[in-house]
Amino acid sequence: MYKTEILVVGGGPAGLAAALAAAEQGAEVTLADRNSDLGGQLVKQTHMFFGSKGQYASERGISIAKILKEKAAATGKIRILTGATVTGYYEDKKVTIEAGDKFFPVEPQRVIFATGAQENTLIFPGCDLPGIYGAGAVQTLMNLHGVKPGNRVAMVGAGNIGVIVSYQLLQAGVEVAAIIEAAPRIGGYYVHAAKVRRLGVPILTSHTVIKAHGNHCLEKITIAELDEKRQVMAGSERDLEVDVLCVSVGLSPLAELLFQAGCRMGYVPELGGFVPFRDDCLETSVAGIYVAGDAAGIGEASAAMVQGRIAGLAAAASLGYGKDTFLEKVTEAGRELTGLHGGPTGEKIRTGLAKLTLLAKEAV
Amino acid sequence: MQKTADAVIIGGGVHGCAIAYHLARKGWQNIVLLEKNYLASGATGRSAAGIRHQFGTEINILLSAANVRRMEKLAEELDYPEGIELLQKGYLMLAYSAAQLEQFKVNTLLQKKLDPANTTVILDRTEIKEIVPGLNLEGVAGASYNPRDGHANPFHVTQAFARAARRLGVQIHTRTEVSGIEKTANRISGILTYRGDRISTPIVVCAAGAYGKQLGEMVGVDIPVYPERHQILVTEPLEMFLWCMVISLTHGTYFKQTPHGSILMGVGDPDHEVKDFNEQSSWQFLQDVARKITFHMPALQNAKVVRQWAGLYDITPDAQGIVGETEVDGFYLDLGWSGHGFQLAPVIGQIMAEIISGEKPLIDVECLSLRRFTENRLIPEPYCV
Amino acid sequence: MRIEKHPILEFQKGAKIKFLFDGRELEGYAGEPVAAALHAAGVRVLSHSHSHNRPRGFWCAIGHCSSCNMRVNGVPNIRVCIEPLAEGMVVETQKGRGRLDV
């Protein structure tokens, strides 16, 4: 039987940071990721990060992924399994992994789930036509594989991902016809939004897509303006000729393994959906199971890395590693997290976390 | 909830719902069904839902023959437009030795004797290959096959009965667990629920599977039934290529393809399976069943697993159901089917209603009575996985 | 449809190789996802919905949604958005739920 002290599921920013923190404290770690390379969604983030130096601010996501991977390798305490999908968490506390032609159980003493998120879909007539893609998917196609998604794109959603990917589309030489946002205001960071606007991309707030047209692939969309009750205003419909529609309407935590492990969960829209109840050290209601990153609630990669660090430190400390430095390190990380969740941009997350705390209390 | 009932049925599986429907059809006015979870949430919904003629004991041959005929017209009879996804493309029971094949021949003769319309045939290896291309014939001596056997969707069958029962006035309460059964002298007088209800009733029908043992204890009736976990592994949906259910009694294995396209596979492993109310899946089962079924059908190595589930068989000492009255007046049983209960629900539902109404049942099921255990009249069913 | 020049990124590509798509010879780079190679060649319809046979392309590009299931080297339901392209690969549009060769 494959045994490991700490199994980290998911090698994105949260998982890498968790593995790194636990290994630096002296724990022996296995990091499993279903992709062929570590880094999660960082590997396609060409923009520079905000935050402070501790969270790799002013670095591009692609560089952060590289730095974290190199650091992980340097510890000599992390066994990395790529192309390894964690398929289940079973009643005997074994975790199963499928890797290529192999399927095997793993016996971990602690598990940190950093499984990330998936993109939400938007339902309207014709929404399944080829050419309608997740914004993250387009980012992958473009920034990782160097392929343009099409010639003329419309973006749904003016949140961070929506405006950032729009800018990246322009960088790749793709025309962006418009950014369509149902809310009356732009949700993404102002600097990113201002950049795409300067490049001539209209951001249509209080607008939505009502229909997609095309024979086999997307050829045209119909958009319309929304009133204050978010109902379509009659007569405001108009067509946009585009061959790609990027959908950027939020993410949902990948919570299947947490559910299967029996973690108590709460539904919090501000955090993206079902997320596990957890303590300050991100330990869930099942002792020995921790969560970090988008799986703990949709947020920024910077916060995901700090959460990963906290979970990694705590999991290691619970096994007796780094007890003398734990308090100091985890307090510092907690301070950083509070900072990242501060200000007006952190309001949604703060509300979500408060709701989750309340749900957990009610559930007891 | 009503305070009185003419009969209360415990268990919202396919048997409970079938009994409720048949009682109501007979004109019973005030029938209540209590289900602690949701309809078909227990063994019914977790079964592989096979329907077959091929059994090895007289009683099961008689019951199943009558039952397949009911299943064929069930959606129409119950006015259930969704259909029950009945796929009658046969059950293939593989024999791995000359002696086993000989036994299949004997059983086939018995089936034909008791049911002249029976269409079970014995197949040689070439014929097997035609029916199930891709089957590994290593060690196979022959097979017993009935083209009218098949499988259905257990959720649809249960809903079909439940909906028809409701139309006839049956009150079905889900999420309502029984907390006690009352008797006065030696007669059923009422039933209590964890919701705090009490229903006054002269009749309680226990169709609660393996949970029947504890319910029997509430009125002092000893029911020799215990739970045994069985598991199923499910693949991604694929275009139909496996039309019949394949069973190997030798390996304890079976597999089928649902109309949705998924392959469902299971393996009976009484030595390793837990015998309590645990309904969790295990990775050991996943490995074991994948290994065994890809031996039978090597091409399945390229089919991807999407999920697995577990459910409880309600096992009795002879792997046969327990049907009919008990030593407590008004306390009736329909449970203990040990893994082949789903398919017999329509006909047993009818028989239970007849017994409770004091009529002569369609098929005499005295041999399945609770008394058989104390009178040492066990009738072991050999065709079980 | 390939990005020729990018202000930030340089794309390191594997060897240029040939593969078959529904009997047609196409070119791509070894190791890139099959879906990327198809998209670069202008192929956007990858699968069809099971009940209504509606055309489907990829959606998530990270192997999560199964919208890009195709038949690759005779095996059905391969998620081509994460399947690395190899020389001589036979990629086919599958019918409905995918046929398992038995």
CA dist., res. B7 & res. B167, Å (int)? 17
When pLDDT is averaged across residues C19-29 and rounded to a whole number, the result is 97
Higher pLDDT, residue B157 or C7: B157
Does this model's pTM top 0.90?
yes
pLDDT above 80 (res A130)? yes
Residue B348 belongs to what H/E stretch?
helix B345-356
**CATH topology agreement for domains B7-47+155-225+318-373 and B89-148+226-315:** no
pLDDT above 70 (res B148)? yes
Chosen for mutation from C50, C66, C102 (greatest number of chain B CBs closer than 10 Å) is: C102
The reply to whether residue B282 touches residue A103, judged by beta carbons under 8 angstroms, is: no
Q: How confident is the model at residue A52 (pLDDT cuts 50, 70, 90)?
A: low
| Residue C72 is assigned to a structural domain of this protein | yes
The reply to whether residue C75 touches residue B297, judged by beta carbons under 8 angstroms, is: no
Residues of C in contact with B237 (CB under 8 A): 50, 97
When pLDDT is averaged across residues B127-150 and rounded to a whole number, the result is 97
In chain B, pLDDT over 70 holds for what percent of residues?
100
From B234's Cα to the closest Cα of chain C, the distance in A is 15
pLDDT (tens digit per residue) in A171-187 = 999 999 999 999 999 98
The reported pLDDT for the residue numbered B203 is 98
**Answer CATH for B7-47+155-225+318-373 from 1.20.1050.10, 3.50.50.60, 3.60.15.10, 3.20.20.70:** 3.50.50.60
pLDDT above 90 (res A196)? yes
Q: Is-contact B61 B367, C-beta < 8 A?
A: no
The reported pLDDT for the residue numbered C1 is 84
In chain B, pLDDT over 90 holds for what percent of residues?
96
Tokens of C45: 């319809």
Residues of A in contact with B274 (CB under 8 A): none
Residues of C in contact with A146 (CB under 8 A): 2-3, 6, 9, 11, 13
Neighbours of chain A (3+ CB pairs under 8 A): B, C
The reply to whether residue B239 touches residue C95, judged by beta carbons under 8 angstroms, is: yes
pLDDT above 80 (res A101)? yes
3-state secondary structure of A8: strand
Nearest to A154 by CA among A215, A221, A226: A221
Question: ipTM above 0.90?
Answer: yes
The reported pLDDT for the residue numbered A53 is 64
Q: Is-contact A38 A11, C-beta < 8 A?
A: yes
The reported pLDDT for the residue numbered A286 is 97
Arithmetic mean of pLDDT over chain B: 96
pLDDT (tens digit per residue) in A1-31 = 999 999 999 999 999 999 999 999 999 999 9
CA dist., res. B147 & res. C45, Å (int)? 40
Taking the domains of chain B in order of start, what are their residue ranges?
7-47+155-225+318-373, 89-148+226-315
The reply to whether residue B278 touches residue A88, judged by beta carbons under 8 angstroms, is: no
The verdict on C71 touching A (C-beta cutoff 8 Å) is: no
Q: How confident is the model at residue B113 (pLDDT cuts 50, 70, 90)?
A: very high
DSSP codes joined into one string, B51-62:
E-S--SSHHHHH
The reported pLDDT for the residue numbered A48 is 80
| Residue C100 is assigned to a structural domain of this protein | no
pLDDT above 70 (res B49)? yes
- Structural domain of C64: 16-92
From C8's Cα to the closest Cα of chain A, the distance in A is 7
When pLDDT is averaged across residues C82-92 and rounded to a whole number, the result is 97
pLDDT above 90 (res A344)? no
Chosen for mutation from A90, A96, A259 (greatest number of chain B CBs closer than 10 Å) is: A90
Nearest by CB to residue B134, choosing from C77, C99, C102, is C102
From A108's Cα to the closest Cα of chain B, the distance in A is 15
CA dist., res. A186 & res. A179, Å (int)? 10
From C90's Cα to the closest Cα of chain A, the distance in A is 19
Nearest by CB to residue C3, choosing from A118, A138, A147, is A147
The reply to whether residue A136 touches residue C33, judged by beta carbons under 8 angstroms, is: no
pLDDT above 80 (res A51)? no
When pLDDT is averaged across residues A248-270 and rounded to a whole number, the result is 96
Residues of C in contact with A130 (CB under 8 A): 44-46, 55-58
Q: How confident is the model at residue A85 (pLDDT cuts 50, 70, 90)?
A: very high
Radius of gyration of chain C (CA): 14
| Residue C75 is assigned to a structural domain of this protein | yes
Q: How many CB atoms lie within 10 A of CB C59?
A: 23
Q: Number of structural domains, chain C?
A: 1
Neighbours of chain C (3+ CB pairs under 8 A): A, B
| Residue C83 is assigned to a structural domain of this protein | yes
Fold of B89-148+226-315: D-Amino Acid Oxidase; Chain A, domain 2 (3.30.9)
Q: Which of A76-80, A101-105, B273-277 has the lowest mean pLDDT?
A: B273-277
Higher pLDDT, residue A56 or A303: A303
The reported pLDDT for the residue numbered A100 is 86
When pLDDT is averaged across residues B246-264 and rounded to a whole number, the result is 96
Residues of B in contact with C82 (CB under 8 A): none
CATH code assigned at C42 = 3.10.20.440
pLDDT (tens digit per residue) in B269-318 = 878 788 999 999 999 999 999 999 999 999 999 999 999 999 999 999 99
Q: How many pairs of residues across A and B have Cβ atoms under 8 Å apart?
A: 19
